[in-house]
Amino acid sequence: MRLTVIGCGDAFGSGGRANTCFWIETKQGTVALDFGATSLVALKRVGLDPNRIDAVILSHLHGDHFGGLPFLLLDAQFDSRRATPLTIIGPVGTSGRVAAAMEVFFPGSSGNKWRFPLTIMDLPCRTAHVFADLEIWSTEVVHPSGTPSTAVRIKADGRTLAYSGDTSWTEALVEVADGADLFISECYRMAGAPVAHLALDTIEANRARLNASRIMLTHMSAEVLAHLPAIEARGYLVAHDGLVLDL
Ligand SMILES: [Zn+2]
């Protein structure tokens, strides 16, 4: 399993980083984990073809995590001229919210007759789903987004990637990280209890219970980005746009 960080920024472009999107290649294909508002631009900036994405897996339905889908779909329809199937898998409510986003940004577009097979799947929490060679599993976290926000586990090629999504601290993170080769955790502040997000001191306090081989921090505010050398010295991987990791 090869991970390329397409975007690891917060919602507000801190540090010039793109909205969340992780590009994951396995033996049988490619998935994007989250697809934020700037993700299509970020993909094209690094020369990756959006038509290579077999599935988009969504942690939750905030614009910086799924808001790029209207652009991805219309690019596939009119510019990239996609012919291969695309599957979008997200929390229950995803199909309705994607259609709503399409209508807000490009009125009438949700009724397009797509030139490629498009499947949008509402995946209930704690329900394992197999897509190609991937096993996908999610669990609800604490982050209001209109539908369940989730942390996600993806297994393929004998490797497990776990991702917190956006959340304040919840025991669900211990479960989702357990045994993972890589746990990608959001880290929005250095300390305290940011609303609906995690702080580094909370991750530190629970680090011994996060049974993952490596922890990579993402979704960092300007405050956190100002402390990167000290954070790396504590043994965390720190995401940056363009980072490639083999799991
Ligand atoms: Zn969010």
- Cα(2) to centroid(ligand 1), Å: 25
Cα 104 to Cα 50: distance, rounded to the nearest angstrom: 22
**Per-residue confidence band for 232, with pLDDT thresholds at 50, 70 and 90:** very high
Q: Which pLDDT score, from 0 to 100, does residue 57 have? A: 98
- Cα(65) to centroid(ligand 1), Å: 7
- Cα(124) to centroid(ligand 1), Å: 18
Q: Is 52 helix (H, G, I), strand (E, B) or coil?
A: helix
Q: Which pLDDT score, from 0 to 100, does residue 21 have? A: 98
Label the pairing between strands 129-131 and 118-122: unpaired
- Cα(34) to centroid(ligand 1), Å: 11
Cα distances (Å, whole numbers) of residue 236 to 13, 83, 207, 212: 22, 40, 10, 12
- Cα(170) to centroid(ligand 1), Å: 15
- Cα(157) to centroid(ligand 1), Å: 29
Label the pairing between strands 182-186 and 159-163: parallel
- Cα(62) to centroid(ligand 1), Å: 5
- State the DSSP H helix or E strand holding residue 99, giving kind and residue range, or none if neither: helix 94-105
- Cα(113) to centroid(ligand 1), Å: 30
Predicted structure pTM score: 0.97
Across residues 37-52, what is the average pLDDT? 97
- Cα(186) to centroid(ligand 1), Å: 10
pLDDT tens per residue across span 174-205 = 999 999 999 999 999 999 989 999 999 999 99
Cα 130 to Cα 138: distance, rounded to the nearest angstrom: 12
**Per-residue confidence band for 101, with pLDDT thresholds at 50, 70 and 90:** very high
Q: Which pLDDT score, from 0 to 100, does residue 47 have? A: 96
- Cα(197) to centroid(ligand 1), Å: 8
Q: Which pLDDT score, from 0 to 100, does residue 225 have? A: 98
- Cα(140) to centroid(ligand 1), Å: 13
The CATH number of domain 2-246 is 3.60.15.10: yes
CA-based nearest residue to 198, from 206, 187, 208:
187
Cα 207 to Cα 199: distance, rounded to the nearest angstrom: 12
